[in-house]
Copies of this chain bind each other. A is one copy, B any other.
Amino acid sequence: MPRVDFFIVDIRQLRYFIGVVEAGSFTKAAATLNVAQSALSLHVRQLEEGFGTQLLVRDRTGVSVTASGDKLLERARVILREIQLTEAELTNSVAAPSGEVTIGIPSGAARVLSGPLLESVRSELPRISLKMIEGMTGPLEEWMSAGRFNLAVLYRTAESVGQMTVLAREEFCLVVPPGQAPFEDSIRLADLHAFPLAVPMRNNNVRRSVADVVAQHGCVLDVRFEVDSLSTIINIVMEGKAYSILTPSAIQKEASQGQVRTVKIIDPVITRSVVLAVNPKDERSPAVSAVRKLIPKVVRTLIEGKHWSATVPDRV
């Protein structure tokens, strides 16, 4: 329906008006502003009709400004400067993002990732305060769904990870106490039943991932300890009381120091993806966006520096 409302100055009209005054003619201003002369004529006319006063004196040599026009010129410059400052301020906010970003991260991935990530954010995004919440993946999934974090590092075994970014791919392996069998580089899934296991509890992502594959292959496991504490599980293995099935990120440090050994599981290889999820509400936040872009870089650096036994996904 026809919009019958009171006159409101439009930014474009002000820009055209300033352009015309500065050029001294509509025709010159048209060339400068890259707009048709007729469009300038019409818009300035609309300003004059809106204000109810003449802003320009027109003659064959061009235009000059009236007293009212002079007032408007001054005011228009102030307004456009304010808009320019506004755009600069908000754009700078994008260029140098600041504020708090919260990220949930599983205990396993946190063991290789949390330190380097905090360091990277501190050095490359100094105005961002990264709050990292470590936890077992079950609760993390729930909390992320509840919107508790801006970002979350999660695990997925399916090929499809929706809109999440794949950070890395890991392979589950048998974690062996030092000096104990097996001494080969790899072990078949069907042979795992020979080793007593300390594993996370039933609803744990890791537990379910492995259990699904074992069941699919008609195998069984000898679960002796169910503990929802990664460090406790690792201690049990280090003390020779049991074995475990984990991904390399969980025991990267202990393995590199000879406190445990890892033996590759084959037939089949059990893999999973480490993914980065973003809360849809925060997708357009410049701070969240900046951290989101930084994490893959940190992961790549860790993997390529042999600080994390995982593979980087192919980029498409």
Tell me if A220 counts as interface (CB < 8 A to partner B): no
Q: How many residues of A contact B (CB 8 A)?
A: 41
Contacts of A285 in B (CB 8 A): 53-54, 66
User: Which residues on B sit within 8 Å (CB–CB) of A191?
Assistant: none
A9 touches B87 (CB 8 A): yes
Stretch binding the partner chain, chosen from A76-84, A225-233, A293-301:
A76-84
- What's the Cα separation between A282 and B72 when bound, in Å? 18
Question: Number of copies of this chain in the oligomer?
Answer: 2
Is A316 an interface residue when CB atoms closer than 8 A count as contact? no
Please give, as numbers and ranges, the residues of chain B lying within 8 Å of A218 by CB-CB distance: none
Contacts of A286 in B (CB 8 A): 52-54, 68
Q: CB within 8 Å of B: which of A1-45?
A: 7-12
Q: Which residue of B lies closest to A69 (CB)?
A: B90
CB distance from A26 to the nearest CB of B (A): 15
The prevalent SS among residues of A at the interface is helix
Pair A79/B76 contact, Cβ less than 8 Å: no
Contact between chains at B9 and A9 (CB < 8 Å): no
Q: How far is the CA of A72 from the CA of B85 in the complex (A)?
A: 11
Whole-angstrom distance from the CB of A127 to the nearest CB of chain B? 11
A57 to chain B: which residues have CB within 8 Å? Answer: 281-282
A75 within 8 Å of B by Cβ?
Answer: yes
Any chain B CB within 8 A of the CB of A91?
yes
Q: A51-B94, A58-B281, A68-B90 are in contact. List 15 more A-B contacts (CB 8 A).
A: A8-B11, A8-B83, A9-B11, A9-B86, A10-B10, A11-B11, A52-B94, A53-B94, A54-B283, A54-B286, A71-B90, A71-B93, A75-B85, A79-B82, A79-B83
